[in-house]
Amino acid sequence: MKILFHGGGASLTELNSPSLVEEEWNKLRSAAGRLLSARGDVKASEILERYPFQLLDGTNHFGDEFSVLHATVSLDQYVELGEIHAVPEIRESFRHIGSTISEIGPYTRFIAVGLDVDEKVVPVAPPSPKITSEAVERALEDAEQLIKTRGPSSAIDRVHTAFHGYLRVVLERKKIKFVEGDSITTLFRLLRENDPALQHLGHRSEDALKMIRAMSTVIDSLNTLRNRASGAHPNEEVLAEPEAMLAINAARTLLHYLDEKLEN
């Protein structure tokens, strides 16, 4: 475990149960992020949002009571946090995070990060689309929380909703007509057939078009998986974690591509 901030006192010896229930922690985390941004430390707000931090009870040899802002992260994130912590200005941001959470929530003496030694599937980075809506943002946030707390099979429905909402926003902005009840597969086909950005694919356009057509089958599969193998409906069996993460990663990859291509 790597300590990123130590607010004083004896060293941390043990991590225990969460200091707050999930709903209370989510509210505190959001409020702390907004306060950090309002005070000019946008980097601190980004760090708090980017990594899967939880607020846990901590103890030491003296029986002191305090909270620990802790995240268990992938190998890449563990290395990344170590690198940014080595930058003096960013190291100060960790102090701001700790003091801000202590100011509006439980006293937080440490910020620490641990390596997920059981990591199996490396997820594609969560998208932050430039073309978006409140519904899309909410669905993406819900998906992230579900992946962390209940596993990827529970998040397929929210990823499907986010992608569905994204396609609707894009078609509305580009004035491409669709019907209110159109499926995600139909919306993607309308976009692919009517948007000039997806008609001009640059060098090796034929090969690029093959990839896009292949991704169309991913969209079609996402529909089926959401209805028959996810927690969206009372299915007796759901996708195993590797396959569920594969579906989510595929959708994220396509969303990343579309947002970059259509924005440009």
Name which of 219, 164, 174, 218 is nearest 196 in CA terms: 174
At 122, the pLDDT band (50, 70, 90 cuts) reads: low
- Nearest-angstrom CA–CA distance, 2 and 208: 43
Per-residue pLDDT at 264: 63
Among 2.60.40, 1.20.120, 1.10.3470, 1.50.10, name the CATH number for the domain at 134-263.
Answer: 1.20.120
**DSSP, res 122:** P
Task: Write the pLDDT tens digit of every residue in 213-235.
Answer: 888 788 888 888 887 877 666 77
Which residue carries 């509305």 as its tokens? 172
Packing angle of the helix pair 205-228, 156-173 (nearest 10 deg): 130
Using a 10 angstrom Cβ sphere, with 0-12 exposed, 13-18 middle and 19 or more buried, the burial of residue 236 is exposed
Per-residue pLDDT at 119: 57
Q: What is the mean pLDDT of residues 101-130?
A: 82
CB-based contact 88:19 (threshold 8 Å):
no
81: Cβ contacts below 8 Å, ≥ 6 apart = 2, 4, 51, 73, 113
Spans of all domains in the chain: 2-115, 134-263
Per-residue pLDDT at 217: 83
